[in-house]
Amino acid sequence: MKPLQPVSPRARVALGVSFFVAFVAVWAAATLGGFVSATFLADPLTMLRSGWTLLAEMGFSKDVGMTVWRVLGGFLIAAALALPLGVAMGAYKPVEAFFEPFVSFARYLPASAFIPLLILWAGIGEAQKLAVIFIGSFFQLVLMVAVAVGNTRRDLVEAAYTLGSSDAGIVRRVLIPGAAPEIAEILRMVLGWAWTYVIVAELIGASSGIGHMITDSQSLLATDQIIFGIIVIGLIGLASDLAFKAANRRLFPWAQPGR
């Protein structure tokens, strides 16, 4: 191995899979070997059996669907509002000076701290859960998009002005296209954070969703079901992450690092 030396796609997949194999092997050895009590950590086989029971007999697939819907709904609302504001902040310094102090302040506020207020304002229905995801995603997106747009190379902007571009044309034809690959990566990262917020929202005052199932399992000390729920979250997140990466490679092939 050498620093920053790329690996082949086949080797990358093999190395990634080998970690999961090693992780499961250590987990199985610790639980099936009797080193860890099943009360605290279920073994992989028990977890898989419980997962099948959840899916086949207890309607867990509906919980998964509800959680996915909440994540996508809250994230898309946040992205639809954050992208134009972030672009405006990155492109126009007076806009940035007006919004940036509050956005920087708000992005440090934990979304979970708003849950009691949101329950008072919106009840325990879907609006409350979407609002938690929105609060957790919106301010992060705004600031990161603004930074990405503001870091556009100055020589590209000056060249566009030299060629007769207008101010609006600079934003539309230089700043947004130049920052688009980085913005796509920002959306991919923040979508992962949205999963954290939805589970927190579902742990309190929810009657469906993966977080609700995990809470019910905790009261029964069913660590097998808890672990299965966590793994489902990870698998869905991994699938969405790979889909985002594939879309980014297809849309912005010039921005991909050599591998």
- Count Cβ neighbours within 10 Å for each residue of 190-224 and write b for 16 or more, e otherwise: bbeebbbbbbbbbbbbbebbbbbbbbebeeeebbb
Quote the pLDDT of residue 4: 66
Question: What's the CA gap between 19 and 199, in Å, rounded?
Answer: 26
Quote the pLDDT of residue 41: 86
Average pLDDT (144-150) is 92
Token pair recorded at residue 175: 């700043």
Question: What's the CA gap between 164 and 174, in Å, rounded?
Answer: 13
Quote the pLDDT of residue 205: 67
Residue listed under structure tokens 């934003």: 171
Average pLDDT, the chain: 86
**What are the sequence ranges of the domains in the chain?**
55-255
Question: What's the CA gap between 68 and 239, in Å, rounded?
Answer: 12
Quote the pLDDT of residue 2: 72
Domain 55-255 has CATH 1.10.3720.10: yes
The answer on pLDDT for 259 being more than 50 is no
**Residues 55, 111 contacting (CB under 8 angstroms):** no
Range with the largest mean pLDDT of 34-38, 96-100, 118-122, 206-210: 96-100
Question: What's the CA gap between 72 and 187, in Å, rounded?
Answer: 12
- pLDDT tens digits, one per residue of 163-201: 787 878 888 888 888 888 899 999 998 998 888 888 888
| CA Rg value for the chain | 22
Q: Of 71, 76, 111, whose CA–CA distance to 239 is shortest? A: 71
| DSSP states of 31-100 | HHTTSS-TTT---HHHHHHHHHHHHHHS-HHHHHHHHHHHHHHHHHHHHHHHHHHHHHHHH-HHHHHHHH
**Residues 47, 228 contacting (CB under 8 angstroms):** yes
Quote the pLDDT of residue 146: 93
**Cβ neighbourhood burial of 162 (10 Å; 0-12, 13-18, 19+):** exposed
Crossing angle (nearest 10°) for helices 44-57 and 60-91: 100
Q: Of 49, 47, 55, 31, whose CA–CA distance to 231 is shortest? A: 47
Quote the pLDDT of residue 256: 64
Quote the pLDDT of residue 222: 85
Quote the pLDDT of residue 139: 93
Quote the pLDDT of residue 155: 77
Quote the pLDDT of residue 144: 94
Quote the pLDDT of residue 56: 87
Percent over 90 (pLDDT), the chain: 31
Q: Where are the beta strands (DSSP E) in the chain?
A: none
Question: What's the CA gap between 74 and 92, in Å, rounded?
Answer: 27
Quote the pLDDT of residue 81: 95
Average pLDDT (124-141) is 89
Q: Which residue type, as a one-letter code, is found at position 28? A: A
Quote the pLDDT of residue 228: 92
Average pLDDT (119-137) is 87
Average pLDDT (223-231) is 90
- pLDDT tens digits, one per residue of 29-86: 988 888 888 778 888 999 999 999 998 888 889 989 999 999 999 999 999 999 999 9
